[in-house]
Amino acid sequence: MRLIQPLRVLRVPIIIPTRTFISTPSLYKPKKGKKHEHLEPLAAQHTLATEDIDLKEIETKFNKILDQFTKKTNEIKLGKSEPQMFDNLKIDIDNTKFKYTDLASTSIKGRNLVITVFDKSNNSKIISAILDSGLNLNPVQDQTNPNQLKIPLPPMTKDFKLQQSKLLKSQFERYKNGSPSLNSIRLDYKKKFDKKMKNKKNDDDVKQFKNFELLHKTSLDKLSEIFKTNEKQLLK
């Protein structure tokens, strides 16, 4: 009897096509409010950042220039005799060196340098140090105050006044147009205003810029007034 072998069944793999998804950032995002009702490009969300401009900050910088010029004019009127001229002196007390600023302070009153000594027992030591300094100045005891010394400043000659007047004029130009100066500060902030109003200009920006220009002009007028007043005092 002949045996019949069973048929072999071939299994063919079934290939199911799949879709490939690539994840990329969405170029759109929904507006707040109604969900997915309107989409706007993210690029439209980006605005150029503009730097805030504070007029109070600008005014502070202008006033600092005015204060510096005022201080400089006082130094010019007094020539080389300024309150800080003794700050580097060393005072010998009992074979120990002390800084001048640890023992006394200096101010100006009229045509006198006034030295206030913290401990009147050091008066003679300070007088000796100034006489030996080569500054050609002669401090004397103030008869009304035992803690004070006075140094009369030499009279100013006509030639000296003219020389100091030229120096005053050069310093006026330096604080007006140099760096830093009123005009250099104005230029820096004008660039910021130009950039801000180029990106987005509105009435508030225009008003702020006008106030900025007025502030600059007012500061220039003050600088000129300081110069004219001190020049007049110097040449009288």
Tell me if 182 sits within 8 A of 65, measured CB to CB: yes
Provide the token pair at 9. Answer: 């069944």
Residues 105-145 have pLDDT tens digits of 998 887 788 999 999 999 999 999 999 988 788 999 999 99
Sequence-separated (6 or more) residues with CB below 8 Å from residue 181: 65, 174, 175
Which of 121, 120, 125, 124 shows the shortest CA–CA distance to 99?
Answer: 125
- Whole-number Å distance between alpha carbons of 207 and 216: 14
Residues 75-115 have pLDDT tens digits of 788 775 667 888 889 999 988 999 999 999 998 887 788 99
Which 3 state secondary structure label does DSSP give 47? coil
- Whole-number Å distance between alpha carbons of 118 and 114: 13
| DSSP letter, residue 8 | P
Tell me if 138 sits within 8 A of 150, measured CB to CB: no
- The half-sphere exposure of 75 on its side-chain side, counting CA atoms within 13 A, is 13
What domains can you pick out in the chain, each with its CATH number?
Answer: 55-77+157-235 (1.10.132.20), 83-152 (3.30.1360.40)
Whether 44 shows a pLDDT value over 50: the answer reads no
Q: How far is CA 133 from CA 89, 120, 127, 130, 139, in A?
A: 8, 20, 10, 5, 12
Q: Averaging pLDDT over each range in 12-21, 125-134, 170-179, which range is the top one?
A: 170-179
